[in-house]
Amino acid sequence: MRSWLPLAAASMALQATVAHADRDPLSGAPLPPAQASVPSPITDHFYLSASFFDPGYHTSLRADPSQPSAVLYGTPLNGEHDLGFPGHQQLGEVEAMLRMRERNRLRVDYFESDRNGGVLIGNPVVFGSQTFPAGTQLASSFDWRLITVTYTYSFWRSDRLEIGSGLAGYAVQLTAQLQAPATFQQQTVSASGAVPAIPLDVSWRVSRRFSLTARAAYFRATVKDDYGEVIDLHSDAQFRWNANFTTGVGYCSTRTALTRSSTSTAPGVVHFDIAGPEAFVRFSF
């Protein structure tokens, strides 16, 4: 008699499970168990990425005198050719994403670049309030900081494809310095600001482990004599080793342009283009 007790208990537990199972609202029949979602960029609720970035640079800048003088405009300079800045640099980059509910995502990126150069100039250079005569040995630096915060809402979301748009904010800080140690001349120009942009994010799970993602953001505006532009592009291919670890390769391109009139505190022009391949590791949950 006792040998039937475990079998009876198991039968009662099974009946209780069926009784509490999800049922069809019309027929009352038990519904099949829900299938677990496949880990992918579409299902990640949080990730943290560390990237190795190998960008090429194109830097154009002009620092105009901030005080009235006989010289209205500074000398247009190419950072790589005229000031000796390196054209390539190996850097690290950090990115994090937080998904709120199912369709809202918040992504934060941080990028910084510090470069130095040294040249013997063949022509006079006007940079801000300083005029460096021809034959001067110049030491220069260009420091760049970019923080991007992007919010997107996924207006299309399925198991394999997600497309979203929203609003992005780009906070830029730059510092450029030219100095001539022999003549004790030095000029430092800095500027900072934030601009909005319209983003578009696309994620496609090709297979259980392989995914492709792409995103873009764009902004352009002219206010009186001031002009700003941001074009940010990114694409990558990802391989997911397990539910929480992913590696990938991609390509990034960011173009930033800023023109500030003589009425601003730091008048001038800067065009900074960054583009190159990247490789990254990502931990997601």
Residue 31 CB partners (closer than 8 Å, separation 6+): 21, 22, 23, 24
CA distances 14 to 10, 23, 30, 34, 36, Å, are 6, 15, 13, 18, 22
Collect all residues with Cβ–Cβ distance below 8 Å to 93 and sequence separation of at least 6: 50, 51, 53, 109, 110, 111, 278
Contact 52, 279 (CB under 8 A): yes
Q: pLDDT digits over 40-71, tens only? A: 999 999 999 999 999 999 999 999 988 767 67
User: How far is CA 224 from each of CA 66, 228, 243, 264, rounded to the nearest angstrom?
Assistant: 18, 11, 51, 12
More confident residue, 193 or 248: 248
Residue 271 CA: distances (Å) to CA of 79, 93, 254, 282: 10, 21, 11, 31
Between 8 and 90, the more confident residue is 90
Residue 34 pLDDT grade (very low, low, confident, very high; cuts 50, 70, 90): low
Please name each of the domains of the chain with its CATH number: 46-284 (2.40.128.90)
pTM for the model stands at 0.82
- Which of 12-16, 108-112, 228-232 is least confident? 12-16
User: What is the rounded average pLDDT for all residues in the chain?
Assistant: 88
Angstrom distances, CA of residue 221 to CA of 60, 172, 197: 19, 16, 10
Tokens at residue 51, please? 């990237």
**Residue 250 neighbours by CB distance under 10 Å:** 18
- pLDDT at residue 96, rounded to an integer: 97
Dump pLDDT digits (tens) for 184-231: 999 999 988 888 999 999 999 999 999 999 999 999 998 887 888 999
| Confidence bin at 26 (pLDDT 50/70/90) | low
* Structure confidence at residue 87 (pLDDT): 94
Distances (CA, A) of 228 to 170, 220, 222, 270: 11, 6, 7, 10
**CB hemisphere CA count around 21 (13 angstroms):** 16
Distance CA 20, CA 24 (A): 12
